[in-house]
Amino acid sequence: MTHKLLLSVTDPHANNAGPKARTDIEHFLADECEICQLPFDYESKLKKLKYKYWDIPRLFKQRKVDEIYFQYPVYSTVLMDALVASIKQNTTAKLIFIIHDIESLRLFKEQVGYAQKEVEWLNQADGLVVHSQAMQDYLRNQGVTTPMEILGLFDYLNPQPLQDPQPYRRSLCFAGNLMKSQFLSQVDFGEKLPLQVYGPNPLDDLSADVSYEGVYTPEELPQHLTANFGLVWDGSRTDTCDGDFGEYMQYNCPHKVSLYISSGLPVVVWEKAAVAKYLVENGLGIAVASLDKLPGRLAQFSLEDYEAMKKRVAQVAVGLRNGQQIKSALERLQTRLK
């Protein structure tokens, strides 16, 4: 029987069990994988040396494993180099990276040499699960030659029932870290599209059209989402998504898309976002170039249109709640690597 190991690096200083996207993958793959969490202290140089020369080599020397799924990235070149080297030296396992973020497109865009380092790490894997076709194309253009499969959407462990039927008011909700959502101070929907926002660090100058609804845990939040659509937007402007995080939407699949769909909400998204094509082709959402055009667009979206879309969303939600996306992507990749 194939022995599979799912490896996640955790921060011992974090106040929670870890980012939800990673802990959800651990949950969905627990039946077929040994789950291995490696606590890593990013703050201690001495502990980094201990990890590099003692903990990490021992992690694989005594373990027979056929496949290793690694949740990428981790934010230490020392740790990444040591992990990849140890896996290659001490095992014959196939190494598959489950990509959460490509940081040469986001946090480390300006860091000289980081993109090439990232290419080196990804090329040492046997397979990659990437978010989108755009992310795959970017990595190919950077020189990544490793076989890739596209995830499409993140799965989402959602303990709440699907959203109860709501009056169709063309209402919107937005969930996230509001500090980096400066566009919320520019929104001008009037009474046409009520917008409820959830999350920490609300702006002092939220638009009068925006209603702040507080902060909830990822497990609690879905039961408070009573709007008709979930909004996926980023940056400081309403006419486009800008800044590092806004531009990154052209490559990634935001986790909040999965929050909304697993809760039963259709999605409104920037038309240049990588996930827009998937949502529109599968009838799960609406893509717009600018939020300024959204009232007019939704004015043409009838109750019948909405109910048909909501029905399709509910069907997809079942798969997201069961880990169907990551399981399918890994199965496709395993078939290619045999």
pLDDT in tens, 160-173: 999 999 999 999 99
CA-based nearest residue to 309, from 258, 268, 253: 268
Q: What is the pLDDT of residues 263-314, one digit of tens each?
A: 999 999 999 999 999 999 999 999 999 999 999 999 999 999 999 999 999 9
Q: What is the pLDDT of residue 291?
A: 96
Residue with tokens 């994988």: 33
83-110 in b/e form (b: 16+ CB < 10 A) is bbebbeebbebbbbbbbbbbbbbebbee
Structure tokens at 37: 């969490």
CB 265 within 8 A of CB 163: yes
66 Cβ contact list (under 8 Å, min separation 6)? 2, 3, 4, 93, 94
Asked if CATH classification 3.40.50.720 holds for the domain at 4-155+323-337, the reply, yes or no, is: no
User: Do the two domains 4-155+323-337 and 172-321 of this chain adopt the same fold?
Assistant: yes
CB 266 within 8 A of CB 306: yes
Domain ranges of the chain: 4-155+323-337, 172-321
Task: Indicate the pTM of the whole model.
Answer: 0.94
Fold for the domain defined by 172-321: Rossmann fold (3.40.50)
